[in-house]
Amino acid sequence: MKILIIDDEANIRKTLGMCLEIQGHTVIMTGNGKDAAAEAERHVFDMAFLDLRLGAENGLDLVPVLLGSCPWMKIVVITAYASVDTAVAAMRLGAADYIPKPFTPEQVELVTERVASVRAMEKRLDALRDDIERLNPATFLESENPGMRRAVEMARKVAPSEATVLIKGPSGTGKTVLAKAIHTWSTRSDNAFAVISCPSLSPELLESELFGHMKGSFTGASKDYAGRVAACEGGTLFLDEIGDLPQAIQAKLLRFIQDREYERVGDHRTRKANVRIITATNADLEKSMGEGTFREDLYYRLNVVQIDIPPLSERPEDVEALALSMLDFFGAQNHKAFEGFKDEAMAALKTYSWPGNIRELRNAVERAAIFCPGGLVGLDALPGTVVPHGSATVRVGDHVSLAAVEERHIRSVLATSGSIQRAAAILGIDQATLWRKRKTYGI
C-alpha cells in the first residue's frame, strides 16, 4: 500500500517508516498538518498513521481534510493511553482504527495487515461491480480466427508491461472486454479497472470525470470529486472511443501520460497518480490527425502497442461457439435449460453479416433465451433481421424465385464451409462475386 505518516516526532516517524517499508509498503512522512494535507492532495494514499498531537496542532482537525482528498483512505490514529477518548472521537470523524503509544512492530503489522485486507476487498468489489454491469460471457476471447487469435496473443504479451495500448476495431467487437483482460493479466489486477466512454459526456463533465473537481468549480459541483484517475491508483483506466476526446482535454491527457501529473477542475495544485492508460477507437485516428482534430503527439503516446480486433463478419468460424456460450449464459440468467440451436437457426446465425458484431449477436441470443421456453432454439426465436428472407426451407422445385433459391444455397454453403475462400470455391465463383451477393442478400 501507499502509506502517509504524520507525526511531529522525527524518531517515531523514522521507526514507523522503517517498519512499514520492511513490510513492502511505500511510505511518505511529514511532521505537521500543512505538509500532510499537501501530500494527500498530491498523492493517492491507501492508509495514514496520524498522531493526534502535532505540537500545537490538533490531529483531529486533519481527519476530515485527509478524507476529503482520499475518501477511501484508512486513517489509523496514534494516541497516548490517556487520550483514548480522543481516539474514539477521531473514529467518529471517520478514522478507521487507533494504536496507543508506545506501540510495538507487531501492533503496527497487525493493524496494517487488517487495513490491507479491507482495501483489497474494496478493490475487488469495485472490479466485480464493473463486471456485473457489463455481463459479458468470458468465452469471447476464445477464437478459431487467425486475426482474433493474434489480437489475444498480443494482449497477453503486452499485459505485464506498463505500455499504453490502443485497441482498434468496429463498434461492438469487444474492445472493452479485451481491455479488461489486459488489466486482469497484468500486475495491476488487484487494483481498480474503470471505463470512461469519451462520447457520452460533455467536454466539461469529461474532464471532471477524468481528473476530478473542487466544490464550486462549476454549476452542480456541490462537493469535491476525486475523479477516475485518482480512483484507479495502481490500476488501469480504459478510455473508450478516444477519437471523440475534445482537443482541450487531449493536451491534459498527454501531460498525464508523460508525467503522471494532473490538476482537478477548479484547483491549481498538481497531483500525481500511478495509472495505466488503455484506449480504444473505431475511428481513423490518422485521418483525424490530418484534419487537425486529434493531436499527433498524443496519438504516438497512445499507440505504443496497437491491437486490431476483426469484425464478426470476418470470424464466421467463431459464431457457433460464441452463440452456444451466450445461450448457456442467458439460459442460466433466465432459469431455463437449453440444448442448443436447431440446424436452420444456427445456419441463420452463421450466415448473417452481423453489422453490430459481438454486441448484436449477444442481443440476438439474449432475445432467443427470453422468448424460447427451452430445449432447442428455432428460427422463430431469432430477430427478424437475422432470419433469412423468404422461407427457411426453400428447396429446388419450390414455387419461389431463383433469387430465393440462390440466397438460401449461398447461406447454407457459408454456414458449413468455415471461410469465405472455401465457400467461394464450393460455389464456383470468385470471392469478389461472393461479397457482392452477400451484400445483395444482406448475408
pLDDT tens digits for 44-66? 899 999 998 888 888 888 998 89
Q: Is the pLDDT of residue 193 over 90?
A: yes
Give the CATH number of the domain where residue 265 resides. Answer: 3.40.50.300
pLDDT at 14: 92
Residue 377, C-alpha cell as written in the block: 432454439
349 and 337, same structural domain?
A: yes
335 and 190, same structural domain?
A: no
98 and 143, same structural domain?
A: no
Instruction: Show which of 310, 337, 355 is a domain's final residue.
Output: 310
Q: Is the pLDDT of residue 431 over 50?
A: yes
pLDDT at 81: 61
% of the chain beyond a pLDDT of 90: 55
67-76, 321-330, 404-413: the lowest-pLDDT one:
404-413
Quick check: pTM over 0.85? Answer: no
Q: Is the pLDDT of residue 159 over 70?
A: yes
181 and 295, same structural domain?
A: yes
Residue 67, C-alpha cell as written in the block: 478524507
321 and 305, same structural domain?
A: no
Contact 443, 348 (CB under 8 A): no
320 and 417, same structural domain?
A: yes
Give the residue-averaged pLDDT of 15-25: 92
How many domains is the chain built from?
3
CA–CA dist 363, 383 (Å, integer): 9
- Confidence band for 400, pLDDT divided at 50, 70 and 90: low
28-42, 114-128, 385-399: the lowest-pLDDT one:
385-399
Residue 29, C-alpha cell as written in the block: 512522512
228 and 262, same structural domain?
A: yes
279 and 334, same structural domain?
A: no
Instruction: Show which of 292, 310, 328 is a domain's final residue.
Output: 310
- Confidence band for 391, pLDDT divided at 50, 70 and 90: very low
Domain contains 126: no
Contact 378, 372 (CB under 8 A): yes
166 and 82, same structural domain?
A: no
CA–CA dist 237, 308 (Å, integer): 19
Measured in degrees and rounded to the nearest 5, phi and psi for residue 212 equal 90, 175
85-94, 96-105, 108-117, 365-374: the lowest-pLDDT one:
85-94
Distances (CA, A) of 190 to 13, 57, 236, 341: 29, 37, 10, 39
pLDDT at 153: 96
Give the CATH number of the domain where residue 426 resides. Answer: 1.10.8.60
- Confidence band for 132, pLDDT divided at 50, 70 and 90: low
Peptide bond into 388 cis (omega under 30): no
DSSP single-letter state for residue 270:
-
Domain contains 130: no
Range of the structural domain that residue 241 is part of: 136-310
390 and 259, same structural domain?
A: no
Give the CATH number of the domain where residue 24 resides. Answer: 3.40.50.2300
Domain contains 127: no
What is the average pLDDT score of the chain? 88
Find, among 53, 50, 22, the residue nearest to 36 by Cα. Answer: 50
- Confidence band for 212, pLDDT divided at 50, 70 and 90: very high
- pLDDT for 34-48, tens place per residue? 999 999 988 889 999
Instruction: Show which of 310, 328, 361 is a domain's final residue.
Output: 310
Provide CB contacts within 8 A for 253, sequence distance 6+.
Answer: 210, 239, 245, 277, 298
